[in-house]
Chain A
Amino acid sequence: MQFFENPNYNIVGKFKAAVSLSVTLVLIGIISVFFHKGLHYGIDFEGGTLIQMKFAQETSAGELRDLLTDESLGKPEIQSSGVNEFMIRVKNSGEGTEVTDLIQSQLSSKQYEVRRIEKVGPKIGQELRQSALLAIVGALFLILIYISVRFEFRFAVGAVIALFHDVIITLGIFSVFDFLITMPVIAAFLTIVGYSLNDTIVVYDRIRENRFSIRNKSIEEIINLSVNQSLSRTVITSVTTFLVVLVLVLFGGEVLFGFSIAMLIGVIVGTYSSAFVAAPFLVWWENRYGAKAVKK
């Protein structure tokens, strides 16, 4: 079985359309993240208390909201996480077990089992946010160096542009749909970074190889050929990864939901960007700054 017998799509020709699609999505992402809704941080990064409870009787989020009236709880966020099971999040972290005790006493009219408690003090939240940021910036920097060494600097620029593209669009979707940014989501972002690059590098590898062996073709033709040659592989790997990540979204449970959904978006966007952003970028660069001698 074979999806693409002898693919010869004019990828580079679709560059203009791809640019307008990407720019639109990135702009939506930036506007939503920075000017409109912002990002919805979980307690990992803002501090606060989360308590996950499973109730013995039928219970609705509204019912819980009506019961949780104490002022110190502010406006609790209540989210269903299963059958008669809810996650209650408040911004207050309190001293000791103050907040969870208060929540439990306000819900004492109901029968429940506490399945999870997370409490993060505001100072720790700030520290976690810093170390997450450091991790992402650190990873990007190291990868940039790696690609510059293994390929050429402009390849690295193309790869990093594709990366920012992927992460901003994923963040944008998180912002628009109000998904929570938690520690596992940051881990997913970093994995997206790795995965998206994986794709980009496979295409770049082909470009490097073809430029070396095919002398009589233009850069557009070589890039087009390379993307087409690696198309089959890209699609198959993406499909298998997409399938397993979809399984995680559907069966992984609410603890992994943020992580899985970030990965799912990342797989789609990452596959798209390596073919339609990273590769055509090289054409644009070469047309603008002229071809230099090809190394390696």
Chain B
Amino acid sequence: MKAKLGGNGDMPRKLLLNYVLIGLLLLWSAIELYPTLKFEGLTESEKEVLRENGQLAGLESEIIKRGLDLQGGMHLVLEVNIPRLVENLARTKTQSFYELMEAVKTRDAAEEDLDYFDILLQEADAREFRLSRHFPGRSVKNDEIVSELRTESRDAVGRALEIIRNRVDQFGVSEPTIQRVGNKRIIVELAGISDPDRARDLIKDTALLEFILLKDAEVAQDAINRIDAVLKKNDASADIAVDSSRFRDEESRDKAISVEDLLGSSESGQSDSDTSSAVVVDENLYQDKPFTSLLRNLGSDIGVPAENFYAVRKILDRQDVRSALPVDMRIHFSNKAESFIAADGSSQNFYRLYFLNKEAGLTGSVVTDAQATLGGAGGNNMGQPVVNLTMNSEGAKIWSRLTGANVNKRVAIVLDDKVHMAPNIKGKIPGGRTVIEGLEDINEAKDMEIVLKAGALPAPVDIIEERTIGPSLGSDSIRKGTLSVLIGLALVVVFVVIYYKFSGVIAITTLILNILFVLSTLAFLKATLTLPGIAGLVLTLGMAVDANVLIFERIREELRKGKTVRAAVEGGYSRALITILDANLTTLIAALVLWQFGSGPIRGFAVVLFWGIIFNFVSGYYISKTLFETYLGGRTLKTLSI
């Protein structure tokens, strides 16, 4: 770092390189920050328009994410209540069984090293208690039963997770976090939600699983026609925002899609999924059949391009649309979007739309078991992933009648109003044992197993941590945070410029760049800005001055020793470097530890502190030095404004 600042011809070239590098950094920063600025400038109604166009999610993914503490929302930590789960699984419950359960529960709360199941086994063995009497249909030995229960508790967490995932989108949260932590916990974060009662719904014990027959294709087509008619009558174009500019230039390609294509019967088969193009709506069709134009044909199903999901759901929720539909019909989406590859290689995501009977043929409470497995030898599904579904005798009777009367029709498996699968009924299913085929792979089969069990085997879940921030407090915090940053900046600017005059201006420039770079990095990393994160920005303001102060004080010292301006600047920068490195690295260590151990808001603080220090080197040293060298240029100054 002993850069020679001598007035040889070598210097301008080196400076030029610095200018290019700094220019690139500024360009990158501008690109990263632009979406955030654009987003902040949008009004609510403009956002709604973008949302219906399916463009909002794209923009939202590029802006600096705000933590729950800034935008309001809920953070929940859920824990599966294992004692209750085990109790629910037991059949015959005697006095001594309850005593055992109680003893295990007490010890579990007190002991750290052993988990619930270890203690259960110890206690059961110590009491010579035979668990098999209370958990029939399993192994005989206590340790085997306990290990089976342990597996089931893990499954229960999986079920709870699936149920929450399935329900969470009713909140309309753009990016909900649902995360499994450890063996029995789930973290749920819902931005912008502050209603604790709805959170209770989210984790309410039993999910509703239903088996519902699909309406015939003609009935579905008729319903779509009716919706088209309603929308056309009401001149819905004013209501549904469709960005016509987007499809105009693609019109020629889109003309290929006719109404028949869109809703053609199943004989066109798989090839029809190829019609998915980047085009979302056909303009001509849109005039004529506004609802149909939002849909696509996916083999025997009706597909909704993910971009149109919100618009379609909004239409289906309309009162006038609902009253135009037959009373014995309900319409549900599939639980997730699937990706289809078009002929041109591009992929597009689709939800499926199902037109179902209003009445469920059967509910999940009759399910006694579901097992994902590979089809056995000899059968026609040998080696294929299947799910074996078992029902109780009451359910089996109804199921047998239902399947017998509807052979070759389809039945949807619906969990909390989401269709997870809609297989074809091949024939009458007597005896309550059903085999579900046609699954992509064993993982999909496992998912189906979870769904099928979710209705009958609830996973008892407790909220063990909850943090709800009301939206008004969130916006208050943003206001206070921004105010603090601005006042802090103003104070530092005044102080530093008075103290260091022209050199102070250089320091301030690097300071502001530091803040911009940190914000750009947050946008780039999709990291979350929290209130402690803003505090970290303010702190960065204070500490970023430090690098400059260290350098300037050294320069002053060198000047006092009688060195020339150029030599003093050179000496100041090179001698301060090692100190700046040493001093900042310790704070960097503290920031890294916080990053590792902290949760949520604290991590937000650590991230800002960390990058603040990193850019302190870049901005406070490198850019500041470049600015100084530019200022000195080829001149020989007698005095320095410092």
A and B: bona fide binding partners: yes
Identify the A interface with B (CB < 8 A): 1-2, 6, 52, 54, 95-97, 100, 113-121, 123-124, 128, 131-132, 134-135, 138-139, 142-143, 146-147, 150, 183-184, 186-187, 190-191, 193-195, 197-199, 201-202, 205-206, 229-230, 232-233, 236-237, 239-245, 247-248, 251-253, 255-256, 259-260, 263
Give residues of chain B (470-506) contacting chain A, Cβ–Cβ below 8 Å.
470, 472-473, 476-477, 480-481, 483-484, 487-488, 491-492, 495-496, 498-499, 501
- Rounded to whole angstroms, the CA-CA distance of A186 and B605 in the bound complex is 12
Residues from chain B with Cβ under 8 Å of A96 in the complex: 200, 462-463
Q: Which chain A residue lies CB-closest to B483?
A: A251
Q: Determine if B546 and A237 form an interchain contact, defined as CB atoms under 8 angstroms apart.
A: yes
Across the interface, B541 reaches (CB within 8 A) one of A120, A195, A244, namely A244
Bound Cα distance from A125 to B327, whole angstroms: 52
**Pairs A-B, 8 closest by C-beta atoms:** A194-B587, A241-B542, A194-B590, A121-B464, A135-B597, A244-B488, A117-B468, A197-B586
Task: Check A115/B472 contact, CB under 8 A, given A142-B593, A244-B542.
Answer: yes
Instruction: Knowing A119-B466, A237-B545, A247-B487, say if A146 contacts B601 (CB, 8 Å).
Output: no
Q: Which residues of B contact A120 (CB under 8 A)?
A: 464-465
Closest beta carbon of chain A to B416's beta carbon, Å: 20
Would you give the 0/1 interface string for B496-528, flagging 1 where the beta carbon is closer than 8 Å to chain A?
101101000000000000000000000000000
Docked complex Cα distance between A115 and B472 (Å): 7
Question: In the complex, what residues of B have CB within 8 A of residue A116's CB?
Answer: 467-470, 473
Instruction: Report whether A201 and B539 are in contact in the complex, using a CB–CB cutoff of 8 Å.
Output: no
Q: Is B589 an interface residue (CB 8 A)?
A: yes
A54: chain B residues within 8 A (beta carbon): 472
Most B Cβ at <10 Å: residue of A1, A194, A236, A260: A194
Q: Which of A115, A118, A191, A256 is B466 in contact with, Cβ under 8 Å?
A: A118
Do A119 and B465 touch (CB < 8 A)?
yes
Verify B465–A187 contact, CB threshold 8 A: no
Is residue B538 within 8 Å, beta carbon to beta carbon, of the partner chain?
yes
Contact indicator A198/B543 (Cβ below 8 Å): yes
Other 5 A-B pairs with CB < 8 A, given A186-B602, A237-B543: A1-B498, A139-B590, A183-B602, A194-B588, A251-B480
Q: With A119-B463, A146-B589, A201-B582 in contact, do A243 and B481 touch (Cβ < 8 Å)?
A: no
Q: Are B473 and A237 in contact (CB-based, < 8 A)?
A: no
Docked-complex contact B495 and A239, CB < 8 angstroms: yes
Question: Interface residues of B: mostly helix, strand, loop or mixed?
Answer: helix
Which listed residue (B476, B491, B492, B546) contacts A198, Cβ 8 A?
B546
Q: Which of B200, B466, B541 has the most CB of A within 10 A?
A: B466
Give the distance in Å from the alpha carbon of A259 to the alpha carbon of B472 in the complex. 21
Annotate B582-601 by CB proximity to A: 1 below 8 A, 0 otherwise. 11111111110110111101
Chain A nearest Cβ from B194, distance in angstroms = 8
Taking the complex as formed, is B107 at the interface, i.e. its CB lies under 8 A from any CB of chain A? no
Is B640 an interface residue when CB atoms closer than 8 A count as contact? no
A194 and B484 within 8 A (CB) = no
A42 → chain B closest CB, angstroms: 12
B579 interface residue per 8 A CB criterion: yes
CB distance from B471 to the nearest CB of A (A): 9
Assess the B200–A191 pair: CB atoms within 8 A: no
Q: Which residues of A contact B101 (CB under 8 A)?
A: none
The verdict on B15 contacting chain A, using a C-beta distance below 8 Å, is no
List of A residues within 8 angstroms of B491 by Cβ:
240, 243-244, 247
Residue of B539, B556, B590 contacting most chain A CB atoms (<10 Å):
B590
A247 to B579, CA, bound (A): 28
With A241-B539, A252-B480, A253-B476 already in contact, the answer to whether A194 and B602 are too (CB < 8 A) is no
Contact A240 B586 (CB under 8 A): no
Contact present for B553 and A241 (CB under 8 Å): no
A-B contact pairs, 30 of them (CB 8 A): A97-B196, A97-B197, A117-B466, A117-B467, A121-B465, A131-B597, A134-B597, A184-B535, A187-B532, A187-B594, A187-B602, A190-B593, A191-B590, A194-B591, A195-B587, A198-B543, A198-B587, A199-B583, A205-B582, A230-B553, A236-B545, A236-B549, A240-B545, A240-B549, A242-B542, A243-B488, A243-B492, A244-B488, A252-B538, A259-B535
A121 → B minimal CB distance (Å)? 4
CB of B621 to closest CB in A, whole Å: 15
Contacts of A183 in B (CB 8 A): 598-599, 601-602
- Contact yes or no, B468 A123, CB < 8 A: no
Residue of A nearest to B582 (CB): A201
Q: Which residues of A contact B549 (CB under 8 A)?
A: 233, 236-237, 240
Contact partners of B462 in chain A: CB under 8 A: 95-96, 121
- How far does the Cβ of A208 sit from chain B's closest Cβ, in whole Å? 9
Contacts of A2 in B (CB 8 A): 499, 556
Contact B196 A236 (CB under 8 A): no
Interface residue B212 (Cβ < 8 Å from any Cβ of A) = no
* In the complex, chain A residues whose CB is within 8 Å of the CB of B473: 52, 115-116, 255
Instruction: For the complex formed, measure the closest distance between the CB of A270 and the CB atoms of chain B, giving whole angstroms.
Output: 11
Question: Do the beta carbons of A124 and B469 come within 8 Å of each other?
Answer: no
State A22–B470 Cα separation when bound (angstroms): 44
A119 nearest CB across to chain B (Å): 4
Residues of B within 8 A of A251 (CB): 480, 483-484, 487
C-alpha gap A178/B499 in the complex (Å): 38
Q: Is the CB of A245 within 8 A of B542?
A: yes
Which of A114, A121, A247, A255 is the one whose CB lies under 8 Å from B470? A114
CB distance from A205 to the nearest CB of B (A): 5
Chain A nearest Cβ from B256, distance in angstroms? 55
A88 to chain B, nearest CB (A): 14
B77: Cβ under 8 A from any A Cβ: yes
Question: Which residues of chain B come closer than 8 Å to A244, judged between CB atoms?
Answer: 484, 488, 491-492, 538-539, 541-542
